[in-house]
Amino acid sequence: MPLIKQKKKSNLPEFNINITALMDILTVLLFFLVKSFTVSSSTLTPPDDIKLPTAKVQENAKEAITVSVSVNEVRFNNDIIIKLNRGRFPRTVIGEDNRTLKPLFALLDKEDKKRREIYKEQINTEFFPPGKILIQADHKLPFRLLKFILHTAAVAGYKDYQFLVVGKDS
Amino acid sequence: MLLKKRKEKHVLPTVEVNVVSLMDIITTLLFFLILIISFTNYSIVKGSALSLGRMTEEKPKPTFSLKITVRNSKSANVLIGPTSELKIVNKSSMHNYLNSYFSGSPKRGFTKNIGNRTSDAFVKRLQRILIRLKQGFPHETKAILAFADRVEYQTTVNLVANVRSLGPDAQPFTQVNLIGQRERSKVLFPEVIISEWTGK
């Protein structure tokens, strides 16, 4: 009887996966994602029909209510609230003072009331600081349209304007 | 004779430094720094609305007022309120400048129309005037910008930014503050109040 060859058990070498580097990557990834989305570029991205003006300034936007204005529509935090008619506001949305946009005022006023409600216990509301509003508008927008936005925001308590621009080298 | 104890040479164990994770961190950091720089090409230009004051029976204090009325991207009118009772650095020199280049008087105020063929030249000319005014009034920070209806948003933003401060490429100017200290600055009138021009 021939000898049965014994197959050698192939012992694969033990392979230890070192995940230290992977953990490092994940930690750093997390850190930078949190930092870069604090004032998120997704909230700063203007609608497609708006081409922002350019300016040589280096100041970062602070968290604020965003109002986008083009010759076609007005958006409040990315929701369309007013549609313009041939580059003019419809009469139905303009208030009695011929300066205020009623839908925009209603939304800003609601936000202002919420803000005051939150801070009324810490701050005397008589000296409440003005709210901040971030305005994204098309570079060719005439001032006759922009003034409605500015006036409405001021009347609703949002007197600190931040005009979003693109760096001139971009 | 006593046997001397041989001192064993103190040999430090060899340690291998694993730089793999360090290289990973650096590569990832670099990658995200590049990404973040491309995200942050947005900036802001600040402005504010006119705040209503409160009625008072006290005699109104003399205040500095500077109003720039913008008709289009190449011309504007600069209006300065009465200056006779205001604190001015080098008062005689400032009044000489205002009397030479503006119309008016220290009691009634000064006005000047400025304009240029191109909007860039107009902005530079406006900034030269603002620098001179800032040198006379280094403690003042407010200016009113009133725009005509036809002014485009790009012009609005451009002028607000240029009235607030000189651009990043510009050289700072020298000013002397009210206590006699010389300082170099690029800040002009950072509190810009935006208003509407209702004239023709």
pLDDT at A170 (0 to 100): 43
pLDDT over 90 for what percent of chain B?
60
From A24, A137, A153, residue closest to B153, measured CB to CB: A137
B84: left (phi over 0), alpha (psi -120 to 50) or beta: alpha
pLDDT for B143-196, tens place per residue?
Answer: 999 999 999 999 999 999 999 999 888 999 999 988 889 999 999 999 999 999
Please count the residue pairs, one from chain A and one from chain B, whose beta carbons lie less than 8 angstroms apart.
Answer: 142
Q: Which residue has the tokens 């041939």?
A: A86
State the pairing for strand pair B66-72/B42-48. unpaired
Can you tell me whether residue B103 is helix, strand or coil? Answer: strand
> pLDDT higher for B9 or B173?
B173
Q: What is the mean pLDDT of residues A60-77?
A: 90
What is the pairing mode between strands A65-69 and A132-137?
Answer: parallel
- What value does the mean pLDDT of chain A take? 83
Element (H, E) at A55: strand A54-55
- Classify residue B188 by burial, with Cβ atoms within 10 Å: 0-12, 13-18, 19+: buried
Q: Classify the C-alpha dihedral A134-A58-B186-B197 as positive or negative.
A: negative
Q: Each residue of A28-68: pLDDT tens digit?
A: 777 777 676 555 544 567 888 899 999 988 787 788 899 99
pLDDT at residue A134, rounded to an integer: 94
Q: Which residues in chain A touch residue B152, judged by CB atoms under 8 angstroms apart?
A: 139-143
Q: Residue B153 and residue B157: Cα distance in Å, rounded?
A: 6
Terminal-residue alpha carbon distance, chain A = 85
Check whether B2 has a pLDDT greater than 60. Answer: no
Select from A24, A140, A165 the Cβ nearest to the Cβ of B24: A24
Question: Per residue in B20-41, pLDDT tens?
Answer: 777 777 777 777 766 765 555 7
Q: Which residues of A touch B123 (CB under 8 A)?
A: none
Which of A48-62, A154-168, B66-80, B96-110 has the lowest average pLDDT? Answer: A48-62
CB atoms within 10 A of CB A76: 18
Helix (H, G, I), strand (E, B) or coil at B198: coil
* Predicted complex ipTM: 0.77
Return the bridge partners of B196, or none. Answer: B147
Q: Is A112 exposed, middle or buried (0-12, 13-18, 19+ CB in 10 A)?
A: middle
Report the DSSP beta bridge partners of residue B176: B182
Q: Which of residues B57 and A16 earns the better pLDDT score?
A: A16
The CA distance from B22 to the nearest CA of chain A, in Å, is: 8
Residues of chain A with Cβ-Cβ distance to B47 below 8 Å are 161, 163
Q: Where are the beta strands (DSSP E) in B75-154?
A: 75-80, 103-105, 109-115, 142-147
pLDDT tens digits, residue range B118-130? 999 999 999 999 9
Distance CA B119, CA B158 (A): 10
Under DSSP, is residue A165 helix (H, G, I), strand (E, B) or coil?
A: strand
Q: Within an 8 Å CB–CB cutoff, is residue B41 touching chain A?
A: yes
